[in-house]
Amino acid sequence: MIRLTVFGGAGEIGGNKILLEDAGTRLLLDFGISYTRRGLFFEEYLKPRTAAGLADLLVTGVLPEVSGIYRSDLLALGGPRTPAPHDRPAVDGLLLSHAHLDHAGHLGFLDERVPTYCSSLCHAMLVAMQGSRGRDFETEIVDFRPRPAFPDTRDVTIPRRFVRVDGAFQAGGLRCRALPVDHSMLGCVAFLIETSRGHVLYTGDLRFHGPDAALSEAMLADARAAGVWLLLTEGTRLDVVEERTETHVLDECLAAVRATRGPVIADFAPRDLYRLHTFLRIARETDRRLVILSQDAHLLNALLGMHPLVVDPRGEPFVILKERKQSGTYSERDYPRWERHVLAWPTARTAGDLRTARDRLILALSFWDIQNLVDLGVGEDALYIQSSSEAYTEEQALDARRLNNWLDMLGVRRRLQSHASGHAPRSDLARLVETVRPEVLVPIHTVVPRLWRDVAPTPVIIEPVAGRVIEL
C-alpha cells in the first residue's frame, strides 16, 4: 500500500511538503515555506523566535508535527508540540524540485543527516543564494549554526547532506529519475519514482512556454514511455487560459525601451535568469547598460559555465550598483566579504557615478530596492516596467500601493506591465494529463483543485487535505 500525506501545498499555492511512503521507504517531496500560512501569524517585525526552537512554527501550523525529521539542536530547545528527540531520521531522503523558497525554504529545519537530492544547478543556486543573504533562523538552508549559539560555537556551521543528481538515482529502497523541466528558475526537475504500485510523477513547478520548453516536453515523453500510475502536479494557473511567452515580454519591452529617452526601471524576480537575459538582450539592442545589484552579480558568477543563459557579470553591458550601506560612505567595512569581492570588479559603480549616464541605463531593481532611485535622480522621463506577476495577496497589494507611492513621488508617470508566468496555463496542464495518462491525480500547489475535474475528467482525482493520510 502506498501512503501519501500532503502537509503543505493542499489548497494553496506553494509551501509544498509531501511525504511518500512505500515498501519501508519514506521520502519527502520538497519542504517549502507556506507563505499563506506563515502570513497569518508572522510579518517583518513579528518573526518566529530563534530561542523558542520550532515551537512558534509548530503551534501555528507553519511546520507539520512530524516525528523524526527535525534537527536535534532545535528539538532540544523543547516547547509546545515539539516532537521528542530521535536517534536517526525517520525519512530516507528529500527530493527537491527546485530552489524557490516555497519549495526549499524550510529545508534548514530538517535533520541534516537526511540526504537532499537535487540537480547540480539547484544546489549551486542554493549555495549562492544563502551566501548573499543575511544568516538568520529561517535562511540557513545549505548549512546552519547549531542553537543555542554560545561565544565558542558562533562560528561553527554544520553542513547539510546534498546529493546532486542529474538522471537516475536510488533514494532509500526506491529507484528515481530527475527529469529537467522549464520554470522561471534554473535547475528545476520533476521526479519519476518507481513504487511497488507503479510510477509516481511529481512535477514540481513547470511550464511549456518558456525558453527551455524542450525540457518539459522531453519530461513528458519520458514519463509517457515509463507509464505513470500517480500524478502529483501543480495547478497554479488552472483558471488561466491565456498563454504569454518570454518572446511576448521581449517584444513589448523592447518597443517600450526604444520609445524612452530617459532611464528604464525593470522590476522582475531577482533569481529569474530567463527574465534577466531578456533585459540583457534589450540593453544590447538599445545600446544601454544593464544595472544589477551585487547579489545578482554574485549569483551569475557562481553559476558561470553551468547554463548557456549565465553570462559573466564582469563584462559588457553590465554595471553593478554599489549601494550605500551602514556608514553611507562606501567604506569596505559596510559590506560582507562576498560583496566586497563583487564590488572590487571594474563594472561596479555608485549611484553618483551613474547619474550623468542615467538616460542610457536599464535599472534591474525590484520594489525592495526602490530607494536607490532617489540617489540615481530618476524622474518624469523614466519608464517603469513591472515584469512580474500582479499582486494576489493582501500583503502584496499593500506593497504595490507603496511602490506606486514611490513612483508618484519621483514623478515616474510612464508604466508598463509585461510578464510571462513560470507556470503552465490550463491548456498545457490538460495536455500534461492527456499525455502521461495517470490512473490517479492528486492536485497540489493550487487554490482551485476542483477545476481539475473539468480539465482532466479521465483519472481518479483525489483532492488532498493538509496533514491527512491518503492510502492508495
Here the cell at position 412 is: 515616474
- 176: which strand partners? 169, 193
Q: Is the pLDDT of residue 154 over 80?
A: no
Q: Which of these ranges, 136-140, 168-172, 224-228, 414-418, has the smallest mean pLDDT?
A: 136-140
Q: Is the pLDDT of residue 32 over 90?
A: yes
- 26: which strand partners? 21
Q: What is the pLDDT of residue 424?
A: 96
Dump the DSSP string for 367-399: GGGTTHHHHHT--TT-EEEE-SPPP-SHHHHHH
- Give the contacts of 344 (CB within 8 A, at least 6 positions apart): none
CA distance 158 to 138: 15
Q: Which residue has the cell 493582501?
A: 394
Q: Which residue has the cell 519530461?
A: 219
Q: Which residue has the cell 479521465?
A: 458
Is the separation of the CB atoms in 25 and 173 below 8 Å? yes
C-alpha torsion 83→162→93→51, nearest 10: 10
- 116: which strand partners? 94, 162
CA distance 416 to 406: 16
Is the separation of the CB atoms in 19 and 7 below 8 Å? yes
Q: Is the pLDDT of residue 151 over 80?
A: no
Mean pLDDT of 15-27: 97
Mean pLDDT of the chain: 94
Q: Is the pLDDT of residue 324 over 90?
A: yes
Mean pLDDT of 247-254: 97
CA distance 129 to 373: 24
Alpha helices in 269-423 (DSSP H): 273-285, 294-302, 337-343, 351-354, 372-376, 394-410
Mean pLDDT of 232-247: 92
Here the cell at position 119 is: 540537480
CA distance 248 to 210: 11
> Taking the mean position of all CA atoms in its chain, how far away is CA 70?
22
CA distance 241 to 360: 37
Dump the DSSP string for 45-90: TB---GGGTTHHHHHTTSS---TT-B-HHHHTT--TTPPPP-SS-S
Q: What is the pLDDT of residue 59?
A: 98
Q: How many residues does the chain have?
A: 472
- What is the pLDDT confidence band of residue 397, given thresholds at 50, 70 and 90? confident
User: 10 Å Cβ neighbour count for 12?
Assistant: 18
Mean pLDDT of 176-199: 97
Alpha helices in 195-311 (DSSP H): 213-226, 246-258, 273-285, 294-302
- What is the pLDDT confidence band of residue 152, given thresholds at 50, 70 and 90? low
- Our separate counts of H helices and E strands in the chain read 15, 23
With b meaning 16 or more CB within 10 Å and e meaning fewer, what string describes 306-342? eeebbbebbeebbbbbbbeeeeeeeeeebbeebbeeb
